[in-house]
Amino acid sequence: MDIYVLLKRTFDTEEKIVVSDGRIEDESAEYIINPYDEYSVEEAIKQRDELGGEVTIVTVGDEEAEKQLRTGLAMGADKAVLINTEDDLEDGDQYSTAKILQIYFEDKEADLILGGNVAIDEASGQVGPRLAEALGINYVTTITALEIDGDTAKIDKDVEGDVEKIETSLPLLVTCQQGLNEPRYPSLPGIMKAKKKPLEELEIDDLDLDEDDVEAKTETIEVFLPPEKEAGRVLEGEIDDQVKELISLLKDDAKLL
């Protein structure tokens, strides 16, 4: 089985994020593997251990993403590929990322490609389905169970809390949802081994692409944080008075009644 994982380096939304001039300040953000991509790495390793083959992790990004790729290798993936766009492209969007990945995959014989359901930063959930459409292969999003037997894949798909049972065939792209598995932490021997595992670096020239081929189709006008929440108010006094005050606040101030 040739198994591939699409991995995105994202900023950590649990940490403080500073926005200035309509952009997130890179220097102040903490970067991690997109959490949904950790499910993909774990699932890829599990499927490989069961069915044989090799797991390759692919990222479109810059050289900073090497750290997250090494973490994926330390978890147990076999190889990593960084498609480094830093020197060639200034801007990009979901179209650009999917197009770059499409060209990368065109001469590969991928049996299974796993991506995250969404990236926690831009959260469009587009890259996986766009890539599968471009490659002309089957895809199922938000999966919570995967069983492969020969060319057949049996899948549980999360549908807003319900489960849809799907049977489809390889080659296949899936996007992974919380609940699919419990991603492992890299072990110390894993971290040591990862330093020696192959990490190939490509530029878009190596894929015979130039800037025009992957020019973004959308433009981000501004990025801003949600407004700060106002402090709550605690009502005091007799309970009957509190109820009256609450109703009047809901009616007159909040205009909810």
- Which residues are near ligand FAD by CB under 6 A? 6-8, 34, 36-37, 58-61, 85, 89, 91-94, 96-97, 115-116, 118-119, 121-128, 220
Q: Which is nearer to ligand FAD, 72 or 125 (CB)?
A: 125
Tokens representing residue 54 in the block: 């090799």
Q: Which is nearer to ligand FAD, 123 or 249 (CB)?
A: 123
Q: Which helix H or strand E contains 48, and what residues bound it?
A: helix 35-51
Q: Which is nearer to ligand FAD, 100 or 148 (CB)?
A: 100
CA 207/CA 204 separation, integer angstroms: 5
At its nearest, how many Å lie between ligand FAD and the CB of residue 151? Answer: 23
Residue with tokens 């089957």: 138
At its nearest, how many Å lie between ligand FAD and the CB of residue 94? Answer: 4
Beta strands in 2-123 (DSSP E): 2-6, 9-11, 19-20, 23-24, 31-33, 54-61, 79-84, 112-116
Give which of 170, 166, 175, 132 is closest to 148, Cα–Cα.
170
At its nearest, how many Å lie between ligand FAD and the CB of residue 131? Answer: 8
Q: Which is nearer to ligand FAD, 6 or 146 (CB)?
A: 6
CA 244/CA 241 separation, integer angstroms: 5
Residue 234, phi-psi category: left (phi > 0), alpha (psi -120 to 50), beta (remainder) = beta
Q: Which is nearer to ligand FAD, 76 or 104 (CB)?
A: 104
Q: Sign of the CA dihedral 60, 202, 75, 12? A: negative
How far are the Cα atoms of 11, 95, 138, 163, 202 from residue 129, in angstroms, in the given order? 22, 11, 9, 20, 23
At its nearest, how many Å lie between ligand FAD and the CB of residue 28? Answer: 15
At its nearest, how many Å lie between ligand FAD and the CB of residue 100? Answer: 6
How many Cα atoms sit within 13 Å of 208 on the Cβ side?
6
CA 176/CA 101 separation, integer angstroms: 18
At its nearest, how many Å lie between ligand FAD and the CB of residue 249? Answer: 39
Q: Which is nearer to ligand FAD, 49 or 213 (CB)?
A: 213
Q: Which is nearer to ligand FAD, 24 or 170 (CB)?
A: 24
At its nearest, how many Å lie between ligand FAD and the CB of residue 90? Answer: 7
